[in-house]
Structure 1
Amino acid sequence: MSAEVDWVLAQFASVVDSVAADYSITNQDGSTDPVTLKRIDRDDSEILEGDMRDRTAELQRGCYVGATDAAAGREPIGFEYDSRVEPVVGVRVEGLHHDEWGHVDPDGTDGVPFEVLVRRLRRAVQAERHYPDVSKPDTSFTTLFVENEAPQSDQYADYYRTDFDVRFRGYEELPDT
């Protein structure tokens, strides 16, 4: 997992908690449970809240947000070995409509409205956009941007999906030794 992917997924932890606290679903037996949001590192196929085996069955257990390294821009600065860097993390949010026993409900009565989920995820990242501390050696970021949002939900009846990018902007200062 890259430092940037790890950082983005860590920002989503607060959304996991807030969605579970604010929204619930009705199970097949009539009981209710909080809406589940699971974070996944798409580079390592590692789910931070459990394992994923079957897509439809898993989407019945919760919504997913995944992050992956999408691009890494590097441009030299001056005559030294320093560089301007712009790594990009691709984010994918997925969910299944409550009629298919998923955790998404457009009006929020039996699941989370998908637009609300995506907005909370964007805001969790944007809240730390000034000098995000990714803890990457010799690299400091000055800002980040959430861009290229691509809603895909209108292509499917019960499957919800939105992709967006998180682009970091900063500098890498390599030591002279």
Structure 2
Amino acid sequence: MSSTEVDWVLDQLASVVSSVATDYTLENGDDVVIKRVDRDDSRIYEGSQAVDMTTPIRSRSGELQSGVFVSAGSADVSQSPIGTEFDLDVERVVSLRAEGLHHSEWGHVDPDGTNGVPFGELQDRIRSALYGARTYPDAGRTGTSYTHLLLTNEADLSSEYADFYDWRVDVAFDGFEELP
């Protein structure tokens, strides 16, 4: 089951999906496709199929030929007491991952942008979409609200592969819970 935070992150990335399709094409004239994936339930937003994001990236090369996957899943929840009351500092973390295949292997990523989206620009668009909202999801519990988010633990693992692009970052929602 997906969390409110995962749904919010994927909803914010809708603008990235549409802007990349508008701005970049493949050599056959098709638009570059970005597919948002909810890793908590393996659901793909752009399409009706499901994908198992727990398998290694190399085993998903066929799926990555259909587009760049930007996936989100619940990662961590932490709570700590604040002061002498029964209030809590709350942090929820959503793990975000962008994965693509180089255009020479029939993928949608091209470093110079002539036959796909440059991966660095995709990362920048994702960051801008998440930070640009300046609103945060409903925490789903009475008395709990988020005050800010932070992108943290960024890791570009692309150098580990010849034809695959793999970027990971955590989206940390920080807030407070007032307990009765």
RMSD of aligned Cα (Å): 1.6
Q: Tell me the equivalent position of 1:24.
A: 25
Percent sequence identity over aligned pairs: 52
Partners in 1 of 2:83 and 2:153 — Cα distance? Answer: 30
Partners in 2 of 1:82 and 1:45 — Cα distance? Answer: 35
Q: Tell me the equivalent position of 1:90.
A: 95
Q: Tell me the equivalent position of 1:164.
A: 169
Partners in 1 of 2:135 and 2:108 — Cα distance? Answer: 34
Letter in 2 for 1:167: A
Q: Tell me the equivalent position of 1:100.
A: 105
Partners in 1 of 2:30 and 2:138 — Cα distance? Answer: 34
1:154 equivalent to 2:159? Answer yes
Partners in 1 of 2:135 and 2:21 — Cα distance? Answer: 29
- TM-score w.r.t. the length of structure 2 is 0.88
1:39 equivalent to 2:36? Answer yes
Match of 2:137 among 121, 126, 133: 133
| Aligned pairs (5 A) from 1:106-121 | 106-121=111-126
Partners in 2 of 1:107 and 1:100 — Cα distance? Answer: 15
Q: Unaligned regions of 5+ residues in structure 2, if any?
A: 52-58
Letter in 1 for 2:8: W
Q: Tell me the equivalent position of 2:55.
A: none
Q: Tell me the equivalent position of 1:2.
A: 3
8 Å CA contact 2:139, 2:146 repeated in 1:
no
Q: Cα offset for 1:79?
A: 4.8
Q: Cα offset for 1:10?
A: 0.6
Residues 131 and 82 (structure 1 numbering): CA distance in 2 closer, same or farther, change over 3 Å? farther
Identify the range of structure 1 (76-85 vs 101-110) with the bigger mean alpha-carbon deviation.
Answer: 76-85
Moved >6 Å (runs of 4+): none
In the alignment of these two chains, the number of paired residues is 170
Letter in 2 for 1:33: D
Partners in 2 of 1:63 and 1:22 — Cα distance? Answer: 15
Identify the range of structure 1 (33-42 vs 131-140) with the bigger mean alpha-carbon deviation.
Answer: 131-140
Q: Cα offset for 1:173?
A: 2.4
Q: Tell me the equivalent position of 1:66.
A: 71
8 Å CA contact 1:7, 1:134 repeated in 2:
no
List per-residue Cα deviations over 1:119-149 (Å, max 9, x = no partner): 1011111113x45233523221111101111
